[in-house]
């Protein structure tokens, strides 16, 4: 899916190209008085020439208006024609007061033009490279930070790097730094978009750490309606806490394949995560507008919902009302399961087994349910001593679940 943030920035950057350097970088105004330096050809260094060159420099450096190019050419001719002399006060003055700052400024202007060209051509790797050079001279240019944050959303190779610029942009926006005309000068739009960019960048390295950023981004009005955000959130849940808990669950199962108190506790936490993933996919499906995309999301959602609930019953109603419900926060870890109170079964004369109070075939000799039997919805897990509880609402054998086709959910 097209990320709304990118579309908005693209529209802004394409508008009125003749003014874009001034608006986006804030550099052109400072450099407009300078022309690209042309190195003068060295001439004989004698007192007469030196006096003439210095006089031309002074008249144009301090003229009204100043003629920077002429002043630069004269100063450069003086400095290149004559050997360096520490006692030459005129040479030192021209070099330190004008030539060095001038060359620094014109170099910056050239970088700014190249940066603009990279924006126009959508060369995101070059935007990152050149934007860093711009920021070296203007470390608090919030617009450049925004552009570098967005560049990572378009190029996976620099996605991990772009997060630091999204984070800095958030800091500068909160401090009141101007970012117009991006995001229609709307602070909430800018903050939501940068928080989403930070979430995407963080997810590239640590899906679990990215989840709070996705949840925070969804609190902003425009991002709240972004179906891609919820697909990314579901993906972060799957690759982060769900993958970890799934591995942990398998390690807690007893060697004979039966459930243990430890595996039941892990499963309770795992089910919470799966429920968050279902919620995120349901929101993505409800918000998607392209019929083909909606179908792809619904196919994955249906498989996961059925996997969790052993039935599709209630899915349609859940999707229909999902946007009226608050987005659930990161689940609070469950640290203990409810205490189990066994119910005794009176002895029965003539029991088929010849014993009284025999356990059912679904229950292991140690009183624990066999794998694949008794865990109720919510995975708290209770036993009545004679009969296994209903089939679990979620099976932790995650390898059997159809893998989501998230690649098909996005459109560049």
Q: What is the tens place of the pLDDT at every residue in 53-89?
A: 999 999 998 887 888 889 989 999 999 999 999 999 9
How far apart (Å, rounded) are the C-alpha atoms in residues 317 and 92? 80
Boundary (domain end) residue, out of 175, 204, 224: 224
pLDDT band with cut points at 50, 70 and 90 for residue 40: low
Domain annotation covers residue 182 = yes
Is 70 exceeded by the pLDDT of residue 360? no
Q: Is 133 helix (H, G, I), strand (E, B) or coil?
A: helix
Residue 8: inside a domain, yes or no? no
pLDDT(169) > 80 = yes
Do residues 404 and 277 share a domain?
Answer: yes
Asked if the model's pLDDT at residue 197 lies above 80, the reply is yes
Examine the domain organization and report whether 39 and 104 are in the same domain: yes
What's the pLDDT at 355? 31
Q: Express each pLDDT in 171-194 by its tens digit.
A: 999 999 999 889 988 999 999 999
Domain's final residue, options 224, 254, 278: 224
Q: Is residue 322 part of a domain?
A: yes
Identify the pLDDT of residue 18: 32
pLDDT value at residue 155: 95
Does the pLDDT at position 16 exceed 50?
A: no
pLDDT at 299: 96
Residue where one domain finishes, among candidates 75, 110, 140 = 140
**Strand ranges, E, within 67-117:** none
The per-residue pLDDT of the chain, averaged, comes to 77
For residues 235 and 207, is the Cβ–Cβ distance under 8 A? Answer: yes
Residue with tokens 């924006």: 119
Give the pLDDT mean for 351-357. 32
pLDDT of residue 113: 87
Neighbouring residues of 117: CB distance < 8 A, sequence distance ≥ 6? none
Q: Say what the pLDDT of residue 315 is.
A: 97
DSSP 67: -
Q: Residues 260, 402: one domain?
A: yes
- Domain extent at residue 290: 234-334+398-409
Q: Are residues 110 and 245 in the same domain?
A: no
Look at 256 and 388; give whichever has higher pLDDT.
256
Q: What is the pLDDT of residues 202-218, one digit of tens each?
A: 999 999 999 999 999 99
């Amino acid at each position: 899916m097209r990320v709304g943030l990118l579309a908005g920035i693209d529209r802004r950057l394409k508008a009125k190209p003749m003014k874009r350097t001034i608006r986006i970088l804030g550099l052109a105004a400072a450099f407009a008085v300078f022309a690209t330096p042309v190195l003068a050809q060295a001439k004989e260094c004698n007192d007469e020439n030196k006096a003439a060159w210095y006089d031309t420099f002074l008249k144009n450096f301090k003229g009204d208006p100043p003629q920077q190019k002429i002043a630069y050419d004269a100063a450069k001719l003086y400095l290149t024609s004559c050997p360096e002399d520490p006692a030459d006060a005129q040479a030192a003055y021209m070099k330190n007061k004008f030539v060095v700052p001038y060359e620094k400024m014109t170099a910056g202007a050239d970088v700014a033009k190249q940066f603009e060209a990279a924006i126009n051509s959508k060369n995101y790797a070059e935007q990152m490279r050149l934007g860093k050079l711009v920021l070296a001279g203007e470390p608090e240019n919030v617009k450049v930070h925004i552009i570098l944050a967005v560049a990572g959303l378009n190029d996976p190779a620099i996605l991990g790097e772009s997060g630091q610029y999204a984070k800095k942009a958030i800091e500068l926006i909160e401090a009141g730094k101007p970012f117009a005309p991006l995001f229609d000068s709307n602070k909430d739009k800018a903050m939501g978009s940068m928080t989403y960019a930070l979430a995407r960048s963080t997810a590239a390295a640590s899906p679990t750490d990215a989840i709070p950023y996705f949840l925070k981004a969804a609190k902003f009005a425009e991002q709240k309606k972004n179906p891609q955000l919820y697909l990314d959130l579901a993906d972060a849940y799957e690759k982060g806490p769900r993958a970890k808990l799934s591995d942990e669950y398998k390690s807690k199962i007893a060697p004979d394949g039966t459930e243990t108190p430890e595996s039941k506790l892990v499963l309770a936490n795992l089910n919470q995560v799966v429920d968050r993933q279902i919620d995120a996919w349901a929101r993505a499906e409800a918000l998607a507008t392209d019929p083909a995309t909606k179908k792809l999301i619904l196919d994955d959602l249906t498989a996961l919902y059925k996997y969790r609930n052993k039935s599709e019953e209630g899915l349609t109603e859940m999707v229909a009302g999902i946007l009226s419900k608050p987005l659930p926060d990161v689940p609070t870890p469950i640290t203990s399961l409810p205490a189990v109170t066994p119910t005794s079964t009176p002895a029965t004369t003539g029991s088929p087994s010849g014993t009284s109070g025999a356990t059912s075939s679904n229950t292991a000799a140690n009183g624990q349910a066999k794998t694949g039997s008794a865990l109720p919805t919510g995975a708290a897990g209770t036993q009545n001593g004679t009969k296994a509880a209903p089939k679990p609402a979620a099976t932790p054998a995650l390898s059997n679940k159809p893998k989501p086709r998230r690649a098909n959910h996005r459109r560049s």
